Structure 1
Amino acid sequence: MPTENLTHILFSNWQHTLQPFGVDQVAADKAFNSLVAAYSTPGRYYHTLKHIDHVLSTIQILQGYTYNLAAVQLAAWFHDVVYDTEAQDNEERSADYALELLSNLGIPESIIATVTRLILNTKDHQAAVDDCDSQVLLDADLAILATNQVQYGEYTHAIRQEYGWVSEAEYITGRQQVLERFLKRSRIYFTPLMLEFAEPSARGNIQAEIQSLLSR
């Protein structure tokens, strides 16, 4: 389970995001507890509440680029709520989860439609040129790629744990393919801030990880 301090910070964040919508407090508490339970299930090592906290913190930094900040924040909460490394439809199921829960909270349909669209865009990590909200969510989701060497090492170790059912040889091949797809992109990040300050670090980390995989 997450630390009490992290849970407290996230609960405060959750309440703040829901505040403009006048959500019933009991319903908001119940929804938060459901999210905590979902992100605390066995088998999660990286896609936990710590990841959600990191994504939300990055969105806070990038909020000046957003068109609908509340929708981006809500999408962050739900984008990995369903996470099964053996499934191919996590994003679709996470979007469905968000649709049901947010509908029950009385969030406007227009906001929910944006949230589900943003979640679905995390599947391929691509955003249209004019889709600022997706760009911010995707950059925040991938901010981990540009962290320092220690944090990046913790991230790669946690991802390997989540794929514990995959043989070492298959994992190396699959992970290398994922990483090389990022390197082949003209840009990993979309927002000007991340492109300038995070892109070089991310590319360096990815190249180093590929070298590490190939030397195993």
Structure 2
Amino acid sequence: MPTTPAAAHPRYAALLAEWCELVRRCQQDPDKDPDPAPYGQDLLERWAEPQRHYHTLDHLVAVLTRSTELTAHAADPDSVALAAWFHDAVYRPDRSENEERSAHLAERALPEAGLDAATTEEVARLVRLTVTHDPAPDDRNGEVLCDADLAVLAGDPAAYAAYAAAVREEYGFVPDEDFRAGRAAILRQLLALPRLFRTEYGHRQWEEVARRNLSTELDLLEA
């Protein structure tokens, strides 16, 4: 049996085990509910699709890692972790409804896997928040997921350049002029937020560097 792109990833086994442990912890009756592994395998294959260059398994690992780093701030860390798994599970760079489709996937898969309606609803809500990265002030789960997703913006210059290049590669079908205009609009939207990072830790650790990186990329796009 050929090795799939996802299974070739060095973290595949660890990620699948992490997924299974997370779902078992959230299931209503782990002794009777379905084996989480097939659901995790499906998600991992989605994250390894060939059209992805930034929204890859490495991005999933990064968001899960940052979510764990921010666990103390979350009201429900398990729901945040589940939302991290689903937030870009459906990703086509030529479509605009990826977050909505990812939320729908969570709404179908999680009840099948034995999770209750309240958890499913919260996970789907969190996934949809990644459209704007603008959670309400009292939304602790949303703040953690959005901060974890945006933490890439605070990379060192080489890491940020690699991130920006990977995003451009995903949109390789878009002409340069159109890409520059669209990307610049996204950067301006992010810079207009009162705070990029809503948790105190994220704001303290990442805000200044992220804004500098965004401003530099915007200047280059508009030059």
- What is the TM-score of this pair, normalised by structure 2? 0.92
Mapped partners of 1:152, 1:12: distance in 2: 30
**1:75 partner amino acid:** A
1:6 partner letter: R
Match of 2:154 among 139, 142, 146: 146
Q: Which amino acid aligns with 1:16?
A: E
Deviation per CA, 1:3-44, whole angstroms, max 9, x where unpaired?
Answer: 442112212221221231227697311111101111111210
Alpha-carbon separation, structure 1, partners of 2:81 and 2:104: 17
Structure 2 Cα separation of the partners of residues 33 and 184 of structure 1: 38
Q: 2:42 aligns with which of 34, 41, 56?
A: 34
- 1:23–1:106 contact (8 Å) kept in structure 2: no
Matched residue of 1:64: which SS?
helix
Q: Which residue of 2 aligns with 1:13?
A: 18
1:56-71 correspondence to structure 2 within 5 Å:
56-71=64-79
Quote the residue 1:209 is aligned against: 217
Q: Which whole-Å CA distance do the structure 2 matches of 1:52 and 1:173 have between them?
A: 27
Point out 4+ residue stretches in structure 1 off by more than 6 angstroms: 23-26
The yes-or-no answer on 1:130 pairing with 2:138 is yes
Note if 1:157 corresponds to 2:165.
yes
2:114 aligned partner: 106
**Superposition deviation, residue 45 in structure 1:** 0.3
Name the CA distance, whole Å, in 1 between partners of 2:42 and 2:13: 15
* Structure 2 CA distance for aligned equivalents of residues 119 and 197 of structure 1: 24
* Secondary structure of the structure 2 residue equivalent to 1:27: coil
Q: In the comparison of the two structures, how many residue pairs are matched? A: 215
Looking at structure 1, the residues matched to 41 and 150 of structure 2 have their Cα atoms a distance apart, in angstroms, of 26
**Residue number among 170, 184, 201 corresponding to 1:176 in the alignment:** 184
TM-score of the superposed pair, with normalisation by structure 1 = 0.95
Instruction: Flag structure 1 segments of 5+ consecutive residues without an equivalent.
Output: none
Instruction: Determine the C-alpha separation between the residues in 2 that align with 1:23 and 1:39.
Output: 28
How many angstroms apart in 1 are the aligned matches of 2:73 and 2:117? 23
- Percent identity over the alignment is 32
Deviation at 1:72, TM superposition (A): 0.4
Which among 191, 198, 215 is matched to residue 199 of structure 2? 191
SS of 2:70's partner is helix
Unaligned runs of 5+ in 2: none
